[in-house]
């Protein structure tokens, strides 16, 4: 049975209460207006020329920028535009960046420029932008097919990527805890200066950072504690992530794996063990899908079987790509054989993307909210049960089948 310890448990509960109160008193909601408006705030999400602004009154707005306007998460802005409900078509834009933000953008753009010089083809550039820099430049049509294939989670930087980054440092026989220190330095620089705030990536970073600190200090590690700490810190800094279903997908997927496999290793650390489990990752896939499938159905309104049919193929190719990309990132894409290998792997990913049919999904009606919550809670409860893994896997697999039957 899982054990957090008395004092630690009390502190974590208090942290959860404080973050919940912070969300209540700083609750964000979508703004609504008609006509011309002037707003000040911070950019919290970007996707093509569409970005999300959090204004000074904790209101969220969906901005439509002109194609030549480049903006980054954490930019402070003042905008003037025409509002239609929660959307604002920006006419004038003024950007304010502090020293840290300018420094981050300079590092990000330098590395992104090095990558783009060596990437061959539009798809390779889009894939690398997603898997290395966390930027989604796929077109709407491409994103739709990726979703229907059931592989959207693969191109979003999350725990899987951090697992592979961590594995990269495991291959070096370094002594005196140098491996852990170098890994912690890499993760800190990568997350804080190369990426921009993304809920799943920051959740994974905090969990892995706690694991690395525990290894350096030779202290016991508890993955469930780390996950609760990551949740508290994330929501305390970014209360609006309570509205981000990507954050909840990452958080609940990780929680289910921790409850299922145990608390001594972070899912990021034991990724290969999970991935090479029953039927090449089917075990971990069932555990995760049984938990997050109700949320996916609720928001996307379709069920994709691609995660089981194609998941292994794309995950395997993406793993190799990310592993090689880490070597290229550290060497600034200055070793031609490595850059060529990265392009070849990107071509393999594109080949499977092009030739595999995406007719592996079924459109369903949006389930009631209570039904979504109920299915998630039951799946988490099954993962929590003190049973043998084989029996829990059987129960979760059966429960997933029941979900499909209900949704269909």
Say how many Å lie between the first and final Cα of the chain, rounded: 35
Answer with the one of 97, 115, 137 that is the final residue of a domain: 97
| pLDDT tens for each residue of 236-264 | 778 778 777 788 888 898 889 888 887 66
Q: Is the residue at 14 inside a domain?
A: no
| pLDDT tens for each residue of 358-394 | 999 999 988 899 999 999 999 999 998 888 888 998 9
pLDDT (tens place) for every residue of the chain, 408 residues total: 344 455 666 676 676 677 667 666 667 788 899 999 999 999 988 876 678 998 888 888 999 887 667 888 889 999 999 999 889 999 999 999 999 899 999 999 999 999 999 999 999 999 999 999 988 888 889 989 999 998 888 888 877 778 777 777 777 666 667 888 888 888 899 888 888 877 788 888 888 888 888 888 888 888 888 888 888 888 777 877 877 778 888 889 888 988 888 766 655 555 555 555 544 457 888 888 999 999 999 988 999 888 888 888 898 898 889 889 888 998 999 999 999 999 999 999 999 999 999 999 999 988 899 999 999 999 999 998 888 888 998 999 999 999 999 998
Are both 72 and 121 inside the same structural domain? no
pTM: 0.82
User: Is the Cα dihedral 253, 259, 264, 270 positive or negative?
Assistant: negative
Are both 93 and 110 inside the same structural domain? no
Number of domains in the chain: 2
pLDDT value, residue 339: 95
Q: Is the residue at 224 inside a domain?
A: yes
- What CATH number is associated with residue 92? 2.40.50.140
Q: 362 phi and psi, to 5 degrees?
A: -125, 130
72 Cα distance to chain centroid: 18
Neighbouring C-beta atoms of residue 337, cutoff 10 Å: 7
pLDDT value, residue 80: 93
Q: Is the residue at 22 inside a domain?
A: no
Are both 204 and 288 inside the same structural domain? yes
Are both 272 and 324 inside the same structural domain? yes
pLDDT value, residue 403: 94
Are both 62 and 134 inside the same structural domain? no
Question: Token digits for 76?
Answer: 């402070």
Q: What is the DSSP letter of 276?
A: T
CA distance 326 to 324: 5
Answer with the one of 62, 79, 97 that is the final residue of a domain: 97
H-helix or E-strand containing 80?
strand 76-85
Answer with the one of 77, 97, 117 that is the final residue of a domain: 97
Q: Is the residue at 6 inside a domain?
A: no
Q: What angle do CA 89, 91, 96 make, to 5 degrees?
A: 105
Are both 184 and 132 inside the same structural domain? yes
Are both 148 and 244 inside the same structural domain? yes
Are both 272 and 325 inside the same structural domain? yes
Are both 245 and 331 inside the same structural domain? yes
Q: What angle do CA 56, 234, 367 make, to 5 degrees?
A: 90
Q: Is the residue at 356 inside a domain?
A: yes
Q: Is the residue at 20 inside a domain?
A: no
CB 238 within 8 A of CB 73: no
Question: Token digits for 391?
Answer: 């029996």
Domain, as residue range, for 228: 106-407
pLDDT value, residue 309: 87
Q: Is the residue at 3 inside a domain?
A: no
- For tokens 């725990």, the residue is 159
Are both 144 and 42 inside the same structural domain? no
| pLDDT tens for each residue of 288-324 | 899 999 999 998 899 988 888 888 889 889 888 988 9
List the one residue out of 165, 212, 125, 167 whose CA is nearest residue 326: 165
| CA dist list (Å): 136 to 45, 113, 120, 132, 160 | 11, 16, 17, 10, 17
Q: Is the residue at 91 inside a domain?
A: yes
Are both 80 and 171 inside the same structural domain? no
Where does residue 195 fall: left (phi above 0), alpha (psi -120 to 50 degrees), or beta otherwise? beta
Are both 50 and 169 inside the same structural domain? no
């Amino acid at each position: 049975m899982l054990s957090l310890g008395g004092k630690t448990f009390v502190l974590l509960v208090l942290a959860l209460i404080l973050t919940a109160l912070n969300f209540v008193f700083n609750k964000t909601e979508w703004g609504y207006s008609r006509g011309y408006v002037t707003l000040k705030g911070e950019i919290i999400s970007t996707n093509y020329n569409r970005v999300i602004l959090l204004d000074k009154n904790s209101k969220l707005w969906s901005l439509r920028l002109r194609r030549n306007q480049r903006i980054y998460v954490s930019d402070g802005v003042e905008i003037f535009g025409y509002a239609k409900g929660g959307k604002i078509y920006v006419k004038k834009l003024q950007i304010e960046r502090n020293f840290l933000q300018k420094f981050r953008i300079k590092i990000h753009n330098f590395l992104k420029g090095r990558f783009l010089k060596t990437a061959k083809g539009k798809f390779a550039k889009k894939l690398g932008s997603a898997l290395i820099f966390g930027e989604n430049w796929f077109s709407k049509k491409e994103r739709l097919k990726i979703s229907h294939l059931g592989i959207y989670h693969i191109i979003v930087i999350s725990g899987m990527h951090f697992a592979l980054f961590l594995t990269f440092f495991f291959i070096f026989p370094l002594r005196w805890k140098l491996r852990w220190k170098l890994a912690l330095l890499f993760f800190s620089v990568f997350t804080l200066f190369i990426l921009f705030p993304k809920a799943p990536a920051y959740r994974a970073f905090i969990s892995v950072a706690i694991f690395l600190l525990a290894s350096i200090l030779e202290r016991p590690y508890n993955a469930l504690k780390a996950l609760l700490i990551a949740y508290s810190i994330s929501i305390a800094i970014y209360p609006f992530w309570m509205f981000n279903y990507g954050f909840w997908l990452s958080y609940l997927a990780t929680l289910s794996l921790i409850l299922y496999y145990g608390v001594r290793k972070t899912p990021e650390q034991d990724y290969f063990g999970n991935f090479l489990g029953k039927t090449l990752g089917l075990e971990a896939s069932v555990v995760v899908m049984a938990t997050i499938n109700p949320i996916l159905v609720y928001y996307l309104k379709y069920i994709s079987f691609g995660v089981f049919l194609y998941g292994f193929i794309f995950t395997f190719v993406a793993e190799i790509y990310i592993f090689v990309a880490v070597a290229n990132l550290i060497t600034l894409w200055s070793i031609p054989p490595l850059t060529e290998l990265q392009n070849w792997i990107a071509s393999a990913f594109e080949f499977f993307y092009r030739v595999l049919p995406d007719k592996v999904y079924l459109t369903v009606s949006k389930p009631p909210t209570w039904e979504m919550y109920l299915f998630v809670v039951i799946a988490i409860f099954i993962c929590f049960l003190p049973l043998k893994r084989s029996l829990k896997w059987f129960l979760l697999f059966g429960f997933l089948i029941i979900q499909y039957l209900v949704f269909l």
